[in-house]
A and B are shown apart, each in its own frame.
Chain A
């Protein structure tokens, strides 16, 4: 009992403990049952697991489901420990409490890790990084689903929570039956003993809740897994195939009003004036609401009406005057020009510095240099930004298809001015997250609309055009790489230099944390300093080039461009060395057997050693992203159109222990399609502060007829699981670019690709 109270008290002590948290053993994050509000018929055994007297179970689920399958994979961990069919586990929304924060995301995906810089630089950076970690944990909060971290984060906690629950129930049964607990078996929700005793686990949970386990508790070992590793059907699919799945846009509190939004065409501009009376006079309109430009959003207005069509029509017919400020002179072309210039300077930070680069270059038998660049990209999730808010008698409820419930709740509290205990955030399915769901401007819009019609719920829904024009884009990036090759063609050193805006610093400043110190955002360089390639001397540098074009997290973030840069570059090195690209990489991975295994599996299943079908060529790429290693071989044809035709993609993946291989395959397929859209079509151009791409046709999404057949081969592993939501994205662009070279003899140095 003492230990449990200590942990509960410690968790409440504020940000300092967030650091300690990551170091606590899994039991330290179990919390206590008191954290959960009472629930009829279900008794909590800790802050995560409830058992019903009817033998059902519920699991607190802080992570959101946006298609990546976590609402199946995470409950599978509990199903394993409780020996319960997956269908008997219900998911529960978490109460707002720091214990449900995503610690793995925060610990593993540190945007400010102390790198291998010079000593003085490092200690200063370490201090800044530590300060920032504490501040983020304390102020921004970690109730976020991102960074392919949900399984990693849940793995120790949910398994332990389930194991403790199992142990408590079994021990209680043993106590009542006067038998040794070790002889009792829990299976399919029933506890039994060889003497013939048997009862549903629900019979014991009420008494069990008062106890602590007597014996040491361990989650089920790998050799006994019955659930983990099986391709169980996803729990959310039945509802997603009959129209009953509830997305943000489907929320329907009684008396719901509908609001359309129009924001200034120029990014960051604001509303100067609007004839509200004229708009109010339109059919069905009930309110007109100003939406100020705030925290990185663009200002505008919302029209609240009795139905979406009336709201839309009135918003379109309105004649607003825009202030004429914002990013009026922002131009993506100008940004790219600045990026190209920036990589030629010596400005910025060295994220990684090892070995004697000067010696490597001065002794080089050959030097290879290349420049690359990629454009801004939009998210364009199928469900456009929306949120619903209801202000009643000083209480506010918000429903949002958000990836960031913590920041969303905070935005609702701040915008409404209400005390936090009077604000509630309800999660829904997310119709495509991809990082766009981490932005909470839409929540502010919904709360403002609700404040304009108190007592009535309002759903604010952006149009597709507004979504494309007011995104937080994947930043444009430029790269300049140089490698020194020795006489044998091996890389003895490389200098990888990139330029682009900072996603993390931009996101933090939109979410209450303005970072003035020149702390490097190492996510800008992720994928360049963290790969397993053996290069004795290396320098990875980045210069932040700020612009007024808002940037945000886009599925795989820094990896989304850096994998293209580095995997195309390695192919160029292989070509220069006169070595097959697969063999060249295997040599670079000579000290990395795990990575070699993934690469070899992809190559073998793709038939790399055999000639490609006539008219087609293959390209290969390998990338480690957020702890998961993925290799891809793309088979490409030039069929007369300006864009290469990708027929087949063979993926191999090592994501550590696999929870659900069916979901892993889905995520590889999805990552390929997402990355291929960007590789073949994606671009966002900004001219005079306005985004040029308008309708969905210009968003660059890959079409059905263009989709390759993706095969997924999983490498078995005993390591703890890493995620798969994002790692399928980075390798496809370079794999296709490398195939294009094999096909045409020309190197692609920029995206989107074309056969010019």
Chain B
């Protein structure tokens, strides 16, 4: 099947039941998206599919045929949806300004979840962020993630 990944069409041969996470990591070779639980509980595997955040460890690759997937590696791609990349870049800048990451393992998933949130709601308030951000972080970066999302949203609003 063919999946668009970060703006490029990728031909994928895999067991249709194989979760997208393993297709990305083991077959396509994009290791930015992480494995944390395999059951959709932690969010480390979050990617964007047609503009919506999804937990790739519970998404069978067969359901991805013909769809457009964005991973953290979108940052290194010159293709893919321009708006999505712009929002992700603003998030990344804010992430570095706020010095969010510690161990960093959950951060690609955290960034993708934040991306999904801002794509849907460009001006989330505190309550919306707390409600929508459910990726787990064992290092406790939550308050900085929160601040970074608000900062990115403000930056994007000013640039718009």
CB contacts (< 8 Å) of A463 on chain B: these are 38
B37 touches A309 (CB 8 A): no
A202 within 8 A of B: no
B136 touches A705 (CB 8 A): no
Bound together, the chains give a CA A308 to CA B35 distance in angstroms of 11
Closest Cβ neighbor of B72 among chain A residues:
A243
A431 touches B105 (CB 8 A): yes
A489 within 8 A of B: no
Bound together, the chains give a CA A309 to CA B41 distance in angstroms of 18
B71 within 8 A of A: yes
A709 within 8 A of B: yes
Bound together, the chains give a CA A66 to CA B138 distance in angstroms of 11
CB contacts (< 8 Å) of A309 on chain B: these are 14-15, 17-19, 22, 26
A695 within 8 A of B: yes
A228 within 8 A of B: no
Bound together, the chains give a CA A245 to CA B35 distance in angstroms of 14
CB contacts (< 8 Å) of A695 on chain B: these are 37, 39, 41
Bound together, the chains give a CA A672 to CA B102 distance in angstroms of 14
Bound together, the chains give a CA A705 to CA B27 distance in angstroms of 35
Bound together, the chains give a CA A449 to CA B45 distance in angstroms of 26
A380 within 8 A of B: yes
Segment 16-51 of B: residues with Cβ below 8 Å from A: 17-19, 22, 25-27, 29-39, 41-42, 44
**Per-residue interface assignment for chain A, residues 218 to 239, with 1 indicating a CB less than 8 Å from any chain B CB and 0 otherwise:** 0000000000000001101111
Bound together, the chains give a CA A244 to CA B71 distance in angstroms of 12
B153 within 8 A of A: no
B42 touches A308 (CB 8 A): no
CB contacts (< 8 Å) of A431 on chain B: these are 34, 103-105
**A697-B41 contact in complex given A243-B72, A308-B26, A669-B140, C-beta closer than 8 Å:** yes
**Per-residue interface assignment for chain B, residues 115 to 151, with 1 indicating a CB less than 8 Å from any chain A CB and 0 otherwise:** 0000000000000001101111111111111100000
A241 within 8 A of B: yes
A381 within 8 A of B: yes
B160 within 8 A of A: no
CB contacts (< 8 Å) of A307 on chain B: these are 14, 18, 22, 26-27
Closest chain-A Cβ to B23's Cβ sits at a distance in Å of 8
Bound together, the chains give a CA A243 to CA B76 distance in angstroms of 9
Q: Which of A25-33, A247-255, A473-481, A536-544 contacts B (4 or more CB under 8 A)?
A: A247-255
B99 within 8 A of A: yes
Interface residues on A, range: 35 or more
Segment 703-718 of A: residues with Cβ below 8 Å from B: 703-705, 707, 709-710
A383 touches B134 (CB 8 A): no
Closest Cβ neighbor of B142 among chain A residues:
A707
CB contacts (< 8 Å) of B41 on chain A: these are 464, 695-697
A240 touches B107 (CB 8 A): yes
Closest chain-B Cβ to A312's Cβ sits at a distance in Å of 8
A662 within 8 A of B: yes
B157 within 8 A of A: no
B92 within 8 A of A: yes
Bound together, the chains give a CA A417 to CA B34 distance in angstroms of 33
**Per-residue interface assignment for chain A, residues 366 to 400, with 1 indicating a CB less than 8 Å from any chain B CB and 0 otherwise:** 00000000000000111110000000000000000
A429 within 8 A of B: yes
Bound together, the chains give a CA A696 to CA B135 distance in angstroms of 12
A432 touches B136 (CB 8 A): no
B29 touches A252 (CB 8 A): yes
Segment 90-120 of B: residues with Cβ below 8 Å from A: 92, 95-96, 99-108, 111
**Per-residue interface assignment for chain B, residues 53 to 76, with 1 indicating a CB less than 8 Å from any chain A CB and 0 otherwise:** 000000000000000000111011
Closest Cβ neighbor of A461 among chain B residues:
B35
Instruction: Pick from A234, A701, A707: contact of B143, CB below 8 A.
Output: A707
Closest chain-A Cβ to B61's Cβ sits at a distance in Å of 9
**A464-B92 contact in complex given A242-B76, A429-B103, A429-B104, C-beta closer than 8 Å:** no
A67 within 8 A of B: yes
B35 touches A384 (CB 8 A): yes
B99 touches A234 (CB 8 A): yes
A704 touches B26 (CB 8 A): no
A416 within 8 A of B: no
A432 touches B39 (CB 8 A): no
**Per-residue interface assignment for chain A, residues 319 to 333, with 1 indicating a CB less than 8 Å from any chain B CB and 0 otherwise:** 000000000000000
CB contacts (< 8 Å) of B141 on chain A: these are 666, 669-670
**A674-B75 contact in complex given A242-B92, A308-B25, C-beta closer than 8 Å:** no
Instruction: Pick from A242, A252, A464, A704: contact of B142, CB below 8 A.
Output: A704
Closest chain-B Cβ to A690's Cβ sits at a distance in Å of 19
A297 within 8 A of B: no
B136 touches A241 (CB 8 A): no
B143 touches A69 (CB 8 A): no
Bound together, the chains give a CA A68 to CA B33 distance in angstroms of 22
Bound together, the chains give a CA A244 to CA B145 distance in angstroms of 19
Bound together, the chains give a CA A695 to CA B75 distance in angstroms of 32
A434 within 8 A of B: yes
Closest Cβ neighbor of A250 among chain B residues:
B31
Closest Cβ neighbor of B127 among chain A residues:
A705
**Per-residue interface assignment for chain A, residues 609 to 648, with 1 indicating a CB less than 8 Å from any chain B CB and 0 otherwise:** 0000000000000000000000000000000000000000
CB contacts (< 8 Å) of A584 on chain B: these are none
A704 touches B135 (CB 8 A): yes
Instruction: Pick from A308, A312, A673: contact of B140, CB below 8 A.
Output: A673
**A242-B22 contact in complex given A382-B136, A673-B142, A696-B36, C-beta closer than 8 Å:** no
CB contacts (< 8 Å) of A707 on chain B: these are 140, 142-143
Bound together, the chains give a CA A245 to CA B104 distance in angstroms of 8
A310 within 8 A of B: yes
Closest chain-B Cβ to A736's Cβ sits at a distance in Å of 15
CB contacts (< 8 Å) of B142 on chain A: these are 673, 704, 707
B32 touches A382 (CB 8 A): no
Closest chain-B Cβ to A272's Cβ sits at a distance in Å of 27
Closest chain-A Cβ to B53's Cβ sits at a distance in Å of 14
CB contacts (< 8 Å) of B107 on chain A: these are 240-241
B26 touches A258 (CB 8 A): yes
**A432-B139 contact in complex given A242-B72, A382-B34, A463-B38, C-beta closer than 8 Å:** yes
Instruction: Pick from B35, B96, B145: contact of A238, CB below 8 A.
Output: B96
Instruction: Pick from B29, B106, B133: contact of A382, CB below 8 A.
Output: B106
**A672-B101 contact in complex given A233-B96, A704-B130, C-beta closer than 8 Å:** no
CB contacts (< 8 Å) of A701 on chain B: these are 136, 138
A9 within 8 A of B: no
Bound together, the chains give a CA A199 to CA B98 distance in angstroms of 37
9 A–B contacts from the bound complex (CB under 8 Å): A241-B101, A242-B75, A309-B14, A382-B106, A382-B137, A671-B140, A673-B139, A701-B138, A704-B145
| B residues apposed to A, CB below 8 Å | 14-15, 17-19, 22, 25-27, 29-39, 41-42, 44, 71-73, 75-76, 92, 95-96, 99-108, 111, 130-131, 133-146
For the complex of A and B, the 6 pairs showing the least CB-CB separation, nearest first, are A243-B32, A673-B140, A240-B104, A431-B105, A67-B103, A67-B102
In the complex, besides A66-B103, A695-B41, A696-B41, 11 extra interface pairs with C-beta distance below 8 angstroms are A238-B96, A243-B31, A243-B73, A464-B39, A464-B42, A670-B141, A671-B140, A696-B39, A696-B42, A696-B136, A707-B142
